């Protein structure tokens, strides 16, 4: 994925093998129209836009960053970031930082819940187990104000839940694993384009599904510790 030109990088990212969805599904399920997708991956157009887009990418305080006056809604770019496990700036600048961040969760504003096993389980159980979808979920602990940023994918009965916090701390990891206490699941790791960012991941079957669990290709199973 270390491609200098944003245009070429976008072409690679938008492949079905990377996103997990074809163009028809992106159009029908997520209302990403064909014109958006065509322009987004049009190499001739994008080479001319690259300097402009790069200059408008602004670094602000903390993790939050803003992209001003670009050709696509920020929600569109944030959603592509979520699907492809890429920091948002990888869609915008020729030489992005090799650091992870969760800014795309801010722009998606998809699902926000209190940190609670019961509340999170209710959310998972309410997902349609006969479809394929990816959701951005933010859990907030009311006492410590700690936030967990979760990428939740459900693929025809298989749930894959990734902890996307930047270099997750032990506390964040323990909170994440605590969500699945008493459940049957497989724990492992999910690589990202950033070598130092590997997401803690749980794969399990939806409570209503009778299908076998379908593990993601990139998923690295971690056997339980003997100690």
Average pLDDT for runs of 10 along the chain of length 227? 62 68 73 72 55 43 41 81 90 86 90 96 96 94 96 96 97 97 96 94 97 94 65
- Quote the pTM value: 0.82
Strand ranges (E), 57-206? 57-59, 65-67, 111-114, 132-140, 147-155, 158-163, 186-191, 198-205
Measured CA to CA in angstroms, residue 121 lies from 135, 153, 159, 180, 207 at distances of: 14, 14, 12, 8, 10
pLDDT of residue 20: 75
pLDDT of residue 3: 53
pLDDT of residue 14: 67
Residue 129: closest CA among 110, 150, 153, 154:
154
Cβ 121 vs Cβ 147: under 8 Å: no
């Amino acid at each position: 994925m270390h491609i200098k030109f944003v245009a070429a990088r976008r072409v690679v990212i938008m492949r079905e093998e990377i996103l997990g969805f074809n163009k028809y599904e992106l159009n029908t399920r997520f209302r990403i129209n064909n014109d958006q997708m065509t322009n987004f991956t049009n190499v001739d157009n994008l080479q001319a836009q690259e300097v402009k887009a790069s200059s408008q990418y602004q670094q602000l305080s903390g993790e939050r960053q803003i992209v001003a006056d670009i050709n696509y809604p920020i929600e569109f770019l944030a959603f592509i970031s979520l699907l492809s496990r890429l920091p948002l700036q990888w869609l915008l600048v020729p030489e992005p930082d090799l650091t992870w961040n969760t800014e795309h969760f801010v722009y998606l504003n998809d699902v926000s819940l209190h940190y609670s096993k019961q509340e999170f389980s209710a959310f998972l159980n309410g997902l349609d187990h006969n479809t394929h979808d990816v959701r951005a979920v933010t859990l907030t602990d009311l006492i410590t104000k700690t936030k967990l940023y979760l990428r939740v994918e459900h693929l025809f009965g298989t749930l894959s839940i990734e902890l996307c916090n930047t270099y997750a701390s032990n506390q964040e990891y323990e909170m994440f694993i605590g969500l699945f206490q008493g459940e049957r699941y497989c724990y492992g790791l999910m690589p990202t384009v950033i070598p130092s960012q590997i997401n803690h991941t749980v794969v399990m079957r939806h409570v209503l599904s009778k299908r076998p669990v379908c593990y993601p290709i990139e998923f690295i199973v971690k056997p339980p510790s003997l100690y």
